[in-house]
Amino acid sequence: MSRLVVKVGGAVAESAAGTVLELAAGRDEVCVVHGAGPQISEEMKRLGLEVEFVGGRRVTSAAALRLVQRSLDDVNRALCAAIGPRAVGMLGDEIGLHAEPVPELGLVGEPLPSRPRAVEAALAAAKIPVVAPLAVGPLNVNADEAAAALAVGLGAERILFVTDVPGLLLRGAVVDTIAAGEADRLLDAGDLEGGIVPKLRAAVTAARLGVRAEIGATAVTA
**Taking the model in full, what pTM does it have?**
0.94
Residue 182's pLDDT band, with cuts at 50, 70 and 90, is very high
ω into residue 138 within 30 of 0, thus cis? Answer: yes
Angle (CA) 56 60 61, round 5°: 165
- Averaged pLDDT of the chain: 93
User: Which pLDDT belongs to residue 171?
Assistant: 85
pLDDT at 136: 97
The per-residue pLDDT for range 54-67, each reduced to its tens digit, is: 888 999 999 999 99
- Give domain status of residue 179, yes or no: no
Task: Provide the domain count of the chain.
Answer: 1
Helix (H), strand (E), coil (C) string for 65-93: HHHHHHHHHHHHHHHHHHHCCCEEEEEHH
The pLDDT tens digits for 85-121 are 999 999 999 999 999 999 999 999 999 999 999 999 9
With respect to residue 175, please indicate whether it lies within any of the assigned structural domains. Answer: no
Task: Read off the pLDDT of each residue in 14-30 and give the average, rounded to a whole number.
Answer: 87
How far is the CA of 10 from the CAs of 111, 193, 195, in angstroms?
19, 18, 11
Longest dimension (CA), the chain: 48
Residue 68 lies in a domain: yes
Residue 203 domain flag: no
Whether 185 is covered by a domain: the verdict is: no
CATH of residue 12's domain is: 3.40.1160.10
The answer to whether position 193 is within a domain reads no
First to last CA, the chain: 23
3-state DSSP: the chain helix, strand, coil percent, rounded to 5? Answer: 40, 25, 30
Residue 201 has a pLDDT of: 94
Report pLDDT for 61: 96
Which range of residues forms the domain containing residue 17? 3-161
| Beta bridge partners of residue 214, listed in sequence order | 160, 219
Residue 129: its H or E element = strand 128-132
Residue 189: inside a domain: no
Residue 221 — pLDDT band, cuts 50, 70, 90? Answer: very high
CA distances from 186 to 6, 14, 52, 107, 222 (A): 24, 31, 22, 28, 15
Give CA–CA dist 203/134, Å, rounded. 19
Contact 207, 181 (CB under 8 A): no
Instruction: Tell me whether residue 217 is in a domain.
Output: no
Local confidence band at 11 (pLDDT 50, 70, 90 cut-offs): confident
